[in-house]
């Protein structure tokens, strides 16, 4: 039997309150500064409010080039529309996996005027060789996300391959070159779970409800708790009120990153080209 030493936390990046789109209130951990990234991840935003004023303005039409966005809606209803004619309803528990590639122009607008909207948007970088691929869009329904029941909880495996308490599991999305693992872990009070996170991967834990510890270290709420490279698994234990947290991990790309707003490329020249293409209306051509 192989042992899988549990990783520890090497750094904590608290989510900073800011707004994006037309004025949606978010907490941004990764991506709040260009230096605060975790290759292959560029940005991680948490949105969550029961005050419609915090989300109603949504994200009107805007472009992207050079990476992927993964939106996980925990509660609420948004409509995605893009230049390819895709329309996708993002509802409680659903995921939208969008590959901007050479270019996409899309909007994400709330379809509710009251109630709670809560979820996450992650930006996943693409290697240079894949940045200029055709745009793609994948709407993943809640019932298509594997749910692995464990003693005292549940793991929803949105992406990747891992082992959960020693049992192999495959998520709804796989096959990307950065082999991302994206899991939503829900634990009842004083429950415990272990997941494999290969040594090749950088990763983080994002606690968004309750309390939990990784080994002896308490996880900070609404923060990217960055994993150290000291093992190939994590073992999380929940506190007296239970916990909900994300595990996000992937293989680093190790290439230069030049970002200008919604364009993420490898050089300034490529950014200038993206701006030029957007002005000329050929971003998505
Ligand atoms: Co967008």
pLDDT for 1: 47
pLDDT for 84: 92
Question: In the structure, what pLDDT confidence band is assigned to residue 101 with cuts at 50, 70 and 90?
Answer: very high
Cβ proximity of 63 and 53 under 8 Å: no
pLDDT for 117: 92
pLDDT for 2: 61
Question: Cα-atom radius of gyration of the chain, to the nearest Å?
Answer: 18
First-last CA distance in the chain: 53
Give φ, ψ of 143 to 5 degrees. Answer: -75, -10
pLDDT for 5: 87
Ligand 1 centroid to 160 CA: how many Å? 23
Q: Is the pLDDT of residue 29 over 50?
A: yes
Query: What's the average model confidence in pLDDT over 159-184?
Result: 96
Angle, vertex CA 28, rays to CA 206 and CA 74, nearest 5: 55
- Give the bridge partners for 213, in sequence order: 218, 237
Query: What's the average model confidence in pLDDT over 120-141?
Result: 96
Q: Is the pLDDT of residue 223 over 50?
A: yes
Q: Is the pLDDT of residue 11 over 80?
A: yes
Structure tokens at 95: 């995921």
Ligand 1 centroid to 276 CA: how many Å? 19
pLDDT for 177: 94
pLDDT for 58: 92
Q: How many helices (H) and strands (E) does the chain have?
A: 2, 24
Tell me the C-alpha distance between 271 and 163, whole Å: 39
Ligand 1 centroid to 176 CA: how many Å? 20
Ligand 1 centroid to 64 CA: how many Å? 7
Ligand 1 centroid to 235 CA: how many Å? 33
Ligand 1 centroid to 123 CA: how many Å? 10
Cβ proximity of 196 and 203 under 8 Å: no
Ligand 1 centroid to 107 CA: how many Å? 7
Residue range 9-250 in CATH 2.60.120.10: yes
């Amino acid at each position: 039997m192989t042992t899988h030493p549990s990783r520890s936390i090497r750094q904590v990046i608290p989510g900073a309150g800011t707004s994006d789109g037309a004025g949606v209130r978010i907490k941004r951990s990764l991506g709040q500064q260009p230096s605060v990234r975790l290759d292959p991840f560029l940005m991680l935003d948490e949105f969550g409010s029961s005050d419609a004023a915090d989300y109603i303005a949504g994200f009107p039409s805007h472009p992207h080039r050079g990476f992927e966005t993964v939106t996980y809606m925990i509660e609420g209803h948004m409509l995605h529309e893009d230049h390819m004619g895709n329309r996708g309803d993002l509802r409680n528990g659903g995921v939208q996996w969008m590959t901007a590639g050479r270019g996409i122009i899309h909007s994400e607008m709330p379809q509710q005027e009251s109630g709670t909207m809560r979820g996450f948007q992650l930006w996943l970088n693409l290697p240079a060789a894949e940045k200029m691929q055709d745009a793609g869009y994948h709407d993943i329904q809640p019932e298509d996300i594997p749910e692995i029941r464990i003693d005292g909880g549940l793991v929803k495996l949105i992406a990747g391959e891992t082992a959960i308490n020693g049992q192999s599991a495959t998520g709804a999305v796989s096959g990307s070159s950065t082999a991302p693992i994206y899991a939503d872990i829900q634990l009842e009070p004083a429950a415990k779970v272990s997941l494999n996170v290969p040594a090749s991967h950088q990763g983080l834990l994002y606690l968004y409800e309750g309390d939990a510890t990784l080994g002896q270290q308490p996880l900070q709420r609404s923060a990217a708790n960055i994993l150290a490279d000291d093992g190939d698994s994590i073992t999380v234990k929940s506190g007296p009120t239970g916990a909900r947290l994300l595990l996000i991990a992937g293989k680093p790309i190790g290439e230069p990153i030049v970002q200008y707003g919604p364009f993420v490329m490898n050089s300034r020249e490529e950014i200038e080209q993206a701006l030029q293409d957007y002005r000329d209306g050929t971003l998505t051509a």
